[in-house]
Structure formats: structure tokens, C-alpha cells
Structure 1
Amino acid sequence: MSSFTTSSSSADEFSPLQPIFPNLSPSEEMSVLIARIAELNRAKTMEPSVASSEVFGQDGYGMNDDGFSLNEEEEEEEEDEQQEDRKTPTKDVSEDHLKAILERIGEIEKQQQQQTKAFLQSQNDQKKILEKISEIEKQKQKKVFLKFQENCWDSFACHEDIEISGDKSLIVHQKKNDSGYWRSVFAKYPIVLNKHLSDFFYYEISVMKKKRKNLLRNKSHNLKIIRRNLSEKSAKWIKKRSRRECFGGINFGFAVKQQTKLDGPFRTRKGTYAYESDGDICINGQRKGTNAKYSYGEGDTVGIGVHFASRQMIFTKNKLNNTSDFLVDPSFADGSLYPFVSLGLSGDKIEANFGPNFKFDLETL
């Protein structure tokens, strides 16, 4: 660290724009310079008294205590002491040096003002960036919610025995069907597998009415139904499921959309991901077994969805997460899968919820 010098020539050795104390921060340097100015001011006030003591004696007439003039040896001794005093930084600093210090202080203050202005500007810019990011996120969420909200059941992809109702076309029920066949309907819009819009696609149905009809309770009636409507293969399937509901039920999920052949369940078709009321889970047209805890009926709210990143299926029942390790085939991640529901008996009725406000808390996934 450089020190203050004792002559006016030292003021020319540095530029006011350059730090006098390069090892100090601007604020520390300013504190030192301000203290230095205070010392200079004190030195100026001391100069007259010092000068008078140099010229005159204690009595003001240049005489010593005995009344005699100072001899040459004493004068030289006085001069040496005065020169020694001038070597201290508080007693001999030029006006140029003082001016340089003041200029340096002014430069430091200017730099601090610029730094403060730059800091405030950066804070303002950062605030604007955060606001812009927040606005973009809101727009993205709005797009997702609109996509959920605009979906509904498609009257052009609906069996004639299915009636669509409700202000937003979210309620469907089966009418005038005593044969025990499934009746299906698709939604208007597909699953949008776009991770930039959302991390998942999910929807729910609430079972408003669900009929149950086991035709094997009346063997004679059952035989008539089999002869009239069912093939031999279907009859064997009925006997195999004699302890369960043979006809009826609800299944819903995602499937490849079609506008014809809507008189059967899609659970066994490739590209179908279904959740059945008896607890069956069907993945890409293949049954993955039945679990009683997955079964649902009248009064229940169940949901199905898929994570876009992992392709993992989501299954929920009455706000509980029953999700397993089933995955959606990546070949169907192009918008070809549509929400659907199949109703098995006359009187079955459900209401869909395509979002954004679900009974199941998606934040828990």
C-alpha cells in the first residue's frame, strides 16, 4: 500500500482516476481519504502557530530565557526539529495533493452511484424476467386447462343406444338395451402426449347408475338368450364367468378411435387401455388380471391417465392412487388414443370429468 508523501511533487505521481490505495475497496479507500482530508485541515490550522514559534522566542522577541539572542547552534537545532516535524504526513502536504484526493473521492462516489444504478437495473431486469416466465407458465397451464375443459363425448363416435346429455356433453347413459351387449362412445379429442403442455393426461368418471344382471340365475331364460344372440364361444365365456356378473358393467380408458362397431367393449383390442368395473386392467388389449380392490360401482369416482415422460399408467379410485407399473406402448404416443367409455346394461350412467378440477389430487402423483 502506498503512503502519503511530503512534497508537492508527489501529487503528480498519480492520476486522480487511479486508486491511491489499490489494495482497498472503493468504500475503504474513501474512508481513508476522508480521514486524510481531516488531517490536512488540522495541519492547516496548526501552521500559523508553528510558524510563529519558529521565528520568535517564548516571549515574542526572539530572546532566550536569559534575555539573549539565540546563537547559531541553537538555531540549527531548531531547524532540524522543524524539518523532522515536516516529515510527518500531517504537516506538509501540497494543495495539488489535496486536490488529487478530492478528485479521487469524487471518482469513487461516481463509481458507487454507477454501481448502485447498475444493481437496481439488474434487479428490475430480473423482476421482469421472472414476471415473463410466470406469464409463460400461466399461458401453458391455461392451454392445458382449455384442452381438458374443451373435451367432451363425441356424438359422431357414439352408439345409437348411448345418449349424451349435460350442458357440456359429459354425461352418457345406455338406453333400451336388454341384450346384454356393450355400447360405447369416444371423446372428441385425443390424448395429447406433449410434455411441454403437461406432465400427464388424466380424466375421471363418476358412476351415477350401474346395473347388474347375472343371466345364469334363470337357466331357461339364459339358454334362450344364448341361442338367440350369442355364439358358442360367447356361451362358453358366460359359463366360465358364472360366479361373476356375466353381462353388464362399465369399462373406460383410452383406445384407437372408431366411428363404427361401437357395440362391443374395446378391452381386447390392440391399442386399448381400459379400467373395468370388476377390477380388470387391460393394457394394449391384454388383460392383466383382476383385483377386487380396483372394482367400482354406483357412487364411485374412478380415474385413468398416463405420465408422458415415463408412459406409466395412472389408476385411481375415490381419491386413492392404485397406479401400478403398466406402461403405454410408445407407438400410440402420437395422438391416436382417445378417451372412451363402454356401458354394459340399459340404465348404466356415468359423468366424465376432463379437468382441470379433479376429485383426485394430482399433486400427490
Structure 2
Amino acid sequence: MDKQMKKEQQQMLFFKLKQNCWDVKFCQNELEITGDDGLTVVNKQKHSTGWRTVFAEQPIPSEDHSSGIFYFEIGVEHMESDGGVLIGFASKQKPFLSVLYRIGTYAYQNNDSFYINGYLRYYPSDNKFYREDIVGCGVNLATRQIIFTKNGRRLDVSNSLVSSFAVPLFPFISLCGFGDKIVANFGPKFLLPDI
């Protein structure tokens, strides 16, 4: 199959979706969603510690998991030295505590940690990310393979599969440091490697 045609077929999924944004109903109080498009998130917590989480309004599409790639990315606009940024997919639940270690959580943390189905995994690499980096998270719907990217480069997280699509999975981010700020890109144009 022609490479361009294959890429267009994979991206068809992006065009079926209404533009996604962060969900104010599933956003912890210390985070602020800014901008008219609902894509920018800033951590406003000054004195407390710990992760603060926001989920996207729309989940990974549930109508067809036989083909295509679901993907989103964030630009890290600001991150304190003691801060932290986490990007991934998880089920939408309250309370928000412990999203990292929940079954059904798939995430990439700025310190080069990966959470696959609620378990912390390390891969031999140096994939830390910082301010001004663009970090992505996706899933190949046919193979269930989780995809993480940094600045357009696909990271090697082999054997990292979504265990089930029975429970809807939503894009989410978590921020740890005061002033940490990200801007989301839910498509359709990405700094996406050829996957």
C-alpha cells in the first residue's frame, strides 16, 4: 500500500472526532484551564504538593478498534525544577488521587518513567523531557500498542499494550509544580513520527 495512503487512512480517525479539549468537570481545583480553546492548563497550587490531574472531554473512540491510531501531544511551556509533567490515558474517575497506579493507566512522566496498566516501568534510555519539549501519547487501535513520543521521535516502549478497551480511556495530564504549564494538541496536525 502506498505510504501516503496508509498515513491518510490512519489519520481518518482524527477527522471523525469533534475537536477535543480539557474537561472542566474533571479538572482538579488547583489546575486552571485557560484560553478560548480549552487546551492550556496551568498549575496554580502554591503550598501543597502532589500531582494535579485533568482529563479530556472525549475518550479514545469506542466504535471501532480495528484500525487507526489515536494520538495527542502537549507542548511543555513551563516546568519548575521541582515540578513534573505526566501525559497519558486513564479511565475518568474521581477522586483523582493515585491515577498513576490504577489499572488502566498508561502514562509517560518527565523523569523518564512509564506507567503501563498501573505499573511503573523503566526502559533503558534517556527520555527525560523538559520545558519547550513536545511530548505525545497514542495507541494503535488494531494492535493495542501504546505509543509515546518526544519531539517527534517515537520512544521504544515495546510490549506496552492496552489491556482492554472495555472501560473508556481518556487523554489526561498531571502537573506537580507551581506554575507548570502545558498546551495540548488533539490534532489533526501533529509533530508525529511516521508510525
TM-score (norm 1): 0.48
Measured in 2, the distance between the counterparts of 1:254 and 1:180 equals: 22
Q: Distance in 1 between matches of 2:125 and 2:156?
A: 14
Per the TM alignment, residue 293 of structure 1 is displaced from its structure 2 partner at its CA by: 1.8
Residues 162-208 of structure 1, C-alpha deviations (whole Å, 9 max, x = no match) = 10012210100110332222111000011115246x51111101100
Higher mean C-alpha displacement, 152-161 vs 290-299: 290-299
Aligned match for 2:36, one of 167, 174, 185? 167
- Partner residue of 2:79 out of 210, 216, 229: 210
Give 3-state SS (helix, strand or coil) of 1:163's partner.
strand
CA distance in 2, matches of 1:189, 1:335: 13
Asked whether the 8 Å contact 2:31–2:41 carries over to 1, the reply is yes
Question: 2:170 is matched with which residue: 335, 338, 359?
Answer: 338
CA contact (8 A) 2:107 2:116 kept: yes
Report the CA distance between 1:292 and its aligned residue: 5.0
1:54-65 equivalent positions in 2, closer than 5 A: none
| Matched-pair contact (CA < 8 Å) for 1:191–1:335 | no
What corresponds to 2:163 in structure 1?
329
Q: What are structure 2's unaligned runs of at least 5 residues?
A: 1-7
Task: Describe the SS at the equivalent of 1:294.
Answer: coil
Contact 1:184 1:342 in 2 (8 A): yes
1:156 and 1:315 map into 2 onto residues whose CA distance is 26
From 291, 302, 311, the counterpart of 2:135: 302
Q: Which residue of 1 aligns with 2:61?
A: 192
Question: Using the alignment, how far apart are the partners of 2:174 and 2:149 within structure 1?
Answer: 18
Q: Write the letter of the residue equivalent to 2:99.
A: F
Runs of 4+ in 1 over 6 A off after TM superposition: none
Amino acid of the residue matched to residue 324 of structure 1? V
Letter in 1 for 2:190: F
TM-score (norm 2): 0.87
Judge conservation of contact 2:103–2:118 (CA < 8 Å) in 1. Answer: yes
Whole-Å separation in 1 of the counterparts to 2:139 and 2:100: 17
Looking at CA atoms only, which structure, 1 or 2, has the larger radius of gyration?
A: 1
**Which of 1 and 2 has higher RCO (CA within 8 Å, sep 6+)?**
2
> Identity percentage over the alignment?
40
Structure 1 residues 298, 291: CA separation in 2 closer, same or farther (over 3 Å shift)? farther
1:266 aligns with 2:135: no
C-alpha deviations, 1:341-362, integer Å up to 9, x for none?
A: 100011000011111100123x
CA distance in 1, matches of 2:132, 2:98: 22
Question: Quick check: 1:251 aligned with 2:86?
Answer: yes
177, 187, 190: which one aligns with 1:355:
187
SS state at 1:359 partner: coil
Alignment of structure 1 residues 1-365 onto 2, 5 Å: 141=12, 144-147=14-17, 150-193=19-62, 194-195=64-65, 198-213=67-82, 248-258=83-93, 260-262=94-96, 264-289=97-122, 291=124, 293-325=126-158, 326-330=160-164, 333-334=165-166, 336-361=168-193, 364-365=194-195
- Aligned-residue Cα RMSD (Å) equals 2.2
Q: Output the CA distance in 1 between the equivalents of 2:183 and 2:16.
A: 19
SS at match of 1:145: helix
The structure with the largest helix share of the pair is 1
Flag the 1:309–1:298 CA change in 2: closer, same or farther, 3 A.
same
Stretches of structure 1 that go unaligned for 5 or more consecutive residues are 1-136, 214-247
State the secondary structure of the residue aligned to 2:126.
helix
1:249-283 superposed Cα distances (whole Å, 9 cap, x missing partner): 1111000102x323x45111111001000010110
Deviations 1:73-120 (A, max 9, x none): xxxxxxxxxxxxxxxxxxxxxxxxxxxxxxxxxxxxxxxxxxxxxxxx
Q: Count residues in correspondence.
A: 186
Higher share of residues assigned strand: 2
